[in-house]
Amino acid sequence: MEILIAFAVGWAIGTKSGGDTYEDLVAAIKAVRDSDELRELIVAARNAKAEMGLQKEKPSAQVAAEDLRLLELFRLHQEAILRLAGLEALNFVRSRLPAEASPVALESGCDLRLFYERIIDVVVERARLERDIAKASQQFGQVDRQLTNESFRSKAPQDVVAGAERRRAELADQIQRMEESLARLGVVPNLPEDRAPQP
């Protein structure tokens, strides 16, 4: 629908200025297609930044496509893309990115990948993770005790019990991810006896 409206506007402008030739029509369609591809790349970059928690940062990005026309279009409008997407730099590659690179695949047929190096204070990060693990473990214990209480299960509505089961699963997943992050820092977490992995 959006393309149809843009096409109609482009055609109307072309005919009012006396440009109602086939070439004018092709140029109007190309301009609409180009603007859609540029918008898609900018929106995808901004969304990827938000997912990575980099809204206030300026990461670098790699755009990969087999279509040389797309790469040239992005290269031509590189300054606008950098400014509107909040990026530091763009790198262009004429091929698709491998799946293990976790690229964002765009409808236009290109891949986008962001790069950002964050310096982490290991001591501060370790303390934060240990504090968050302790808090989540405490919440997990409370929910788990509630769910193992037969009186609660028999008297509570099914949707409340189901909500508590979902919360327990979410907390277990959260704890596992935080423990993995702690392990990546090179630290073995101090786990309570009931949460310690069994050999």
pLDDT tens digits, 132-154: 999 999 999 999 999 999 999 99
Compute CA 19 distance to the chain's CA centroid, rounded to the nearest angstrom. Answer: 43
Q: Which two tokens stand for residue 54?
A: 């980099």
Higher pLDDT, 11 or 57: 57
CA distance 99 to 89: 22
pLDDT band at 196; cut points 50, 70, 90? very low
Cα gap 122→186, rounded to integer Å: 9
How far is the C-alpha of 88 from the C-alpha of 111, rounded, in Å?
A: 18
Other CB atoms within a 10 A radius of the CB of residue 28 amount to: 20
CATH 1.10.287 fits 122-195, yes or no: yes
Beta strands in the chain (DSSP E): 60-65, 90-93, 104-105, 110-115
Q: What percent of the chain has pLDDT over 90?
A: 27
Domains of the chain by residue range: 2-115, 122-195
Structure confidence by residue, pLDDT tens digits, 109-132: 888 988 887 777 888 888 988 999
d(CA 89, CA 78) in angstroms, rounded, equals 9
